[in-house]
Amino acid sequence: MSAAIDLSVLIAGLCVCLLLAGCGGAGRAVSPRASKKGVYHQVKPGQTLWSIARAYQVDIKTLTRANRLSNRDVLRVGQRLLIPGARRQRRVVSRCPCPDKPTKTAARTAKKKSPRAASKRSAVAKRPSSSMQLSWPIRGTITRRFNRSGRQRHDGIDIAAPRGATIRAAAAGKVIFSDWGPGGYGRLVIVQHTSNLVTVYAHNERNLVKRNQRVNKGQAIATVGRSGRATGYHLHFEVRFKTVPKPPFTFLPQQRQAGIQSPEGGKVHSTIGIKS
């Protein structure tokens, strides 16, 4: 398995889509009279605390403390962040899978293409990007499904389960991330299965694996929690091909859902504001 996926690009792709309406949780403003020496970085669409910290080689905890942010804060486009110890501004990976506005050239090209060709492209786009068969990471009730359109966009599925329930790897692979994730993902594990295919496990109470660790299909990798921007105990599960979110049901066997009630005795809500 070659390491074709750039982790910095993947993590940046997990950000809350800052260009979309309805994205909440804006971070606090930075005081212009900050006493610590450094430079100010202006946040651009698609950038996260993680990608900014990585670019400036600053510990993410140092960055959050310097700007009085918490792990729950979502950055705003145009927000200024103090980078302690930095002497110059650096290039930060900016990747947000929001559709860009078509250029005039692209619009003219689209008009020239026949409806038949467009139909073929649509059919190809709907095909699975990989023939790999994944297993369900946990048994539970689906409380929110995959949806890539409009304000209800959701880049994975939410599976309600009791607090502390075991989350298992959907396939064998290598752990490429195990830490607190960007945006509202909370404690996050990412497993790379092929050069282009990864699975994402978010809102964990505990991560049971470390980065660069090899895991087998069905191996325990985390426990169910509600860390990050979430209400109710559940697993937020994503499948990404070349960093692009894909419908998990394309890769999963048909599930016989087990009726699991919310630990609080009410309706299990799910991921808040994670639109990648």
| Domain region containing 61 | 7-84
Give the containing element (helix H, strand E) for 173. Answer: strand 173-180
Residue with tokens 């900050």: 34
**251 token code pair:** 């890769």
pLDDT tens string 218-252: 999 999 999 988 889 999 999 998 888 899 999 99
Q: How far apart are CA 236 and CA 239, in angstroms?
A: 10
Residue partners of 116: CB distance under 8 A and separation at least 6: none
**Domains held by the chain: number:** 2
> Residue 196 is part of a domain; what is its CATH number?
2.70.70.10
Q: What is the gyration radius of the CA atoms in the chain, in angstroms?
A: 20
Tell me which of 49-63, 119-133, 169-183, 195-209 is least confident. Answer: 119-133
Residue with tokens 């890539």: 148
Report the predicted TM-score, pTM, of the whole model to 2 decimal places.
0.60
Which three-class secondary structure state does DSSP give residue 60?
helix
Claim to verify: residue 145 and residue 63 sit in the same structural domain: no
pLDDT-derived band at 201, boundaries 50, 70, 90: very high
Residue with tokens 């510990």: 59
Claim to verify: residue 147 and residue 226 sit in the same structural domain: yes
Claim to verify: residue 168 and residue 234 sit in the same structural domain: yes
